[in-house]
Structure formats: C-alpha cells, structure tokens
Amino acid sequence: MKSSPIRGALLALLLLCGGQSSAATPAAAHPEPHACHLPGVEESLRCLKLPVPLQPGQPATLSLHVTIAPALREGARPDPVFVLAGGPGEAGSDVLPLLATAFKRVRATRDIVFIDQRGTGLSGRLECKSGLDEDVQLSDDEVDAELRRCIKASKAPFAAYTTANAARDIEAVRRALGYGKINLWGGSYGTRLGQVYARAYPASVRALVLDGVAAPEQVIPAGGRDGQAALDRLFEQCANDAACRAAYPTLRADFAALVAKLDAAPLKLNLPDPRTARQVDVTMTSARLLDTVRNMLYAPADARRLPFLVHSAFAGRWQPFVARRNLAADFAPDASPATLMHLAVVCAEDVPRLSPALAAQDASPLTKELTVRMRGLCQAMNVPAVPYVAPARIEAPVLLLSGALDPVTPPHRAASAARHMAHAQQLVVANVGHGVSQLGCAPRLLRTFLDQPGKPVDGACLNEIPAPTFQLGSAGPQP
C-alpha cells in the first residue's frame, strides 16, 4: 500500500468445513481463460477478460481482468482462493508474487484467483498520467492542484467504483469460472471487500482469511491514534535495546524537536539527488517528515531504520531521510495503487463518516495534514456518500491475522470485526507489522486452516518470527 511520497500520503492509510464441488460450468457467453504471462511470475498463468456493468442493470461496458493460477496437483480441491488486494487501489495482478510466498502451500491443492478490482491494474486503471510521476520536486499545494486538474479532466463515473460494486464483480467472476463455494483471502482494504462480499453472497463463501483486518466501522483517514501508538512502541523498543539506546539516547526528544522546527517553517535543503547525485533543491515540511515516518511504520524492518534517519536529520544530515522518502518514486508509476480509484472509494465511503468528533478523538500529528488534504480532494471528486450499513453476521469460518506493530490495522481492529462473525479466530504476531501471510510459518497455517476451517489453528510458530535489528549507522542494520 505504498507508492510515491505524495501518493503514499493518500494511499498508505491506510489503508479469508468441507468443500463443495463446482455447481456449474461457465456459461457459453463468457470468454474462456487464455494463457498469459504477467510481471512478477515466470510461469504461464491463465487470464480472463470479463465484461461487467458499471452499475447494476446497465450493459456490461467494463472489462474486468482476472488471473488464475491453477492448482499444482491433479485432483485439486473444487474450492479456490480468491485474492483481494489492498489500497483501495491495488490490483490482484500487483500481488502475483504472493504465489511464491503466502500461497506456496495452498496452491498445491487449490486454484488461486487474482482479481484486478475495477479501476485498478488491467481493469480500467484510474490514475493520473502526468505531473505526479515527478512529484518529488513538487510542493504539497502543487501536487494537490495537479490532482484536482486530473480529477476534473477524468471522464470516469467515480460513483460506480464502490466496494459494493466490486463485490458484485467477484460474484460475476465466480459464476463465469463455474466455481461453487469459494474461499477469500483479503489483505488490508481487501479485508473490507472480503467482508462486504461475504455479507452480500453468504451462500458463495466457504471460508475467509483476513490479513491486516479493517473493522466495518473503521474510517480510513482516521488512523492517527493507531499510527501514534506504533511510533510510541518503536521509541520504547529503542529505549529498551542497549545498542539503540546508546546510539540515540535522546531519540524521542530529537524527533519532537524536528517536528516543531518544521512546523515553524519549511526547511530549504540543497543536497545530492539520491538517484542521480546531482545537486537539487528540496523543501522539507513537517507533513512530509510525518508522512515518511508513517509509511515506514508499516514494516518493522523499515521502522527500525527510523532512529538512524531521525538522528541524522536532527544533526543536519538529511540525505538518508530524503533518500528513504523518495524511495517509492524509483518504481514504475503503474506499480503503485491507482490514485483516482482510491479517492473514489474513500471519498464515498470514509470521508463522509469523518465527523468533527471522530477527527478530534483521532487527532495526531501523523495524520492531521492528510485529513485536511483528503477533504479538499474529496470536494473535487464530488461523489455521493455511500450510507453506512450496520454489519450483518458472517457465518463462514474466518481466520484473522494481525501484526502487533501494525500502524493502520492493529489487533483491536480485527477484534472489532470479529464481533460480527459467528466463527472467527484471531492470531496476533508480536514482531510483525502490516501483513502476516507470507512470513514464517504463516503459509503453512493458511493451508491448515483452509483444509479444515472448522478447527482451531495453532499459531504458536508465528512467535518464532524475530524482531528486526535497529540500524545504528550508515552501513545498515546490525547483523
């Protein structure tokens, strides 16, 4: 759920009992899957372009991209795993490398189906094509102005890109491929989509694995308290680590001083560009500092570089921090979540619920600027609000995976979601942030749960995932 430094500010807040045989064969009107090769996977997979309507009752005018990784063994089980990516704005084709990690055990006996949600990836990606690709040189106001111009120029019917419509697309894919009951794996925002689908089509769902769980009532931009809690834990961990404490004895005070200095006035920097080594002018603001910090908290290995970066910046050596801030811009724009699709969902489903009371309750420097900017961009999007509906009970078995260090969907979010589930079990992993499924023994546990979702999963092996070491100098983390 990360992208360029500015896109990251908008997208990182962020921001699956026995099987049943296939009940139907694909209708003749549906196109057949064909062989395809996609980035991130060396082998040939199967791809499908499925026409779906933008709104229920309309003609099918949107082409939905679906990638199928067939089960590796003959006599595979009839219940596949449908993969729902995060964001909102990430595509199933963006997370195909999960085949070699999170799903390496599951795929032995089940098809894995990746859906490019409408507005993402190869399903009519909603993105800005100019200006923002070089946004590391733009001010925050210039980036927002560029986004507003992009929004105004777009002809896309933003109101059609809701989570409910994406759930209808999943059901259309299930029917087109001739599957009976399916399993769902959702990550981050994909956990919201998975829950919406399970409530809309309960007869189609066998089991769910939800990783980095968003609670039904969670408002995506309102993540200040969760992010602040993760940052406070990082400071405490450094203070409790002898080497980190010795290297950065005044870390928390140094960080507060940096934020206060940038709050008072932006800092004009002239330094070598981390990619080209050419001297460039860079403006550092408190919003950009805090956005980078929040992004880094998603992954503990990245977070444990923060003390070094803060210490270096406090001493006036900003190059390491700027290099990390610009990191996402080194990747191709199409590898980042779709900005306009993200705004279409969040502006319709989240921002209308961001009441003054909730904003005050969630107040934190980490998200203050983002909340203000998001409201302005949502005015430009001008999408109708999607009314919040009290969540119905999910009857299918659910495995909830939570990283104890997660800054955006920490364990209490999964616990809140579980209150609306009849058969839920939650595994909390001590040394993990946002995303558990591909780490340690988790791939084996996914297979164990999906084979027998009615039985408890012993997650003790997840405690063997070690905490990353802190970076104490320019050479990188400790051995």
Query: What CATH number has the domain bearing residue 173?
Result: 3.40.50.1820
Can you tell me the mean pLDDT for 190-209?
98
| Residue 113 shares a structural domain with residue 258 | no
| Residue 15 shares a structural domain with residue 123 | yes
| Residue 82 shares a structural domain with residue 187 | yes
pLDDT bin (cut points 50, 70, 90) of residue 397 is very high
Q: For residue 292, is it within any domain? A: yes
Q: For residue 339, is it within any domain? A: no
Q: For residue 353, is it within any domain? A: no
| Residue 190 shares a structural domain with residue 271 | no
Predicted pLDDT of residue 334:
56
Q: Each residue of 294-323: b (16+ CB within 10 Å) or e?
A: bbbbbbbebbbbbbbbbbbbbeeebbbbbb
Beta-bridge partners for 426: 400
List, for residues 361-383, the tens digit of each pLDDT value: 898 989 888 888 999 999 999 99
Q: For residue 294, is it within any domain? A: yes
List, for residues 409-423, the tens digit of each pLDDT value: 999 999 999 999 999
| Residue 283 shares a structural domain with residue 296 | yes
| Residue 231 shares a structural domain with residue 311 | yes
- Three-state secondary structure call for residue 312: helix
Least confident of 172-176, 206-210, 219-223, 235-239: 219-223
Average pLDDT taken over every residue of the chain: 90
List, for residues 12-41, the tens digit of each pLDDT value: 333 333 333 333 333 445 678 999 999 989
Residue 235 has pLDDT above 60, yes or no: yes
| Residue 323 shares a structural domain with residue 258 | yes
Question: Angle formed by the axes of helices 189-200 and 163-177, to 10°?
Answer: 70
Number of domains in the chain: 2
Q: Which is nearest to 31 in space by CA: 58, 18, 15, 49? A: 49
- Per the listing, tokens 């444990």 go with 304
| Residue 84 shares a structural domain with residue 138 | yes
Q: Which is nearest to 19 in space by CA: 213, 182, 230, 129? A: 182
Q: For residue 159, is it within any domain? A: yes
The contacts of residue 315 (CB under 8 Å, 6+ apart) are none
Predicted pLDDT of residue 29:
57
Residue 152 has pLDDT above 50, yes or no: yes
| Residue 248 shares a structural domain with residue 213 | no
Q: For residue 376, is it within any domain? A: no
Predicted pLDDT of residue 10:
43
Q: For residue 350, is it within any domain? A: no
Predicted pLDDT of residue 281:
87
User: Strands, E, within 378-458: which ranges?
Assistant: 398-403, 424-429
Q: Which is nearest to 66 in space by CA: 86, 91, 89, 42? A: 91
Least confident of 52-61, 119-128, 136-145, 445-454: 136-145
Residue 249 has pLDDT above 90, yes or no: yes
Predicted pLDDT of residue 93:
97
| Residue 33 shares a structural domain with residue 62 | yes
Helices (H) and strands (E) in the chain, counts: 16, 13
* pTM of the predicted protein model: 0.91
The contacts of residue 426 (CB under 8 Å, 6+ apart) are 400, 401, 402, 411, 414, 415, 418
| Residue 57 shares a structural domain with residue 100 | yes
Range of the domain at 304: 224-332+468-477
Q: For residue 281, is it within any domain? A: yes
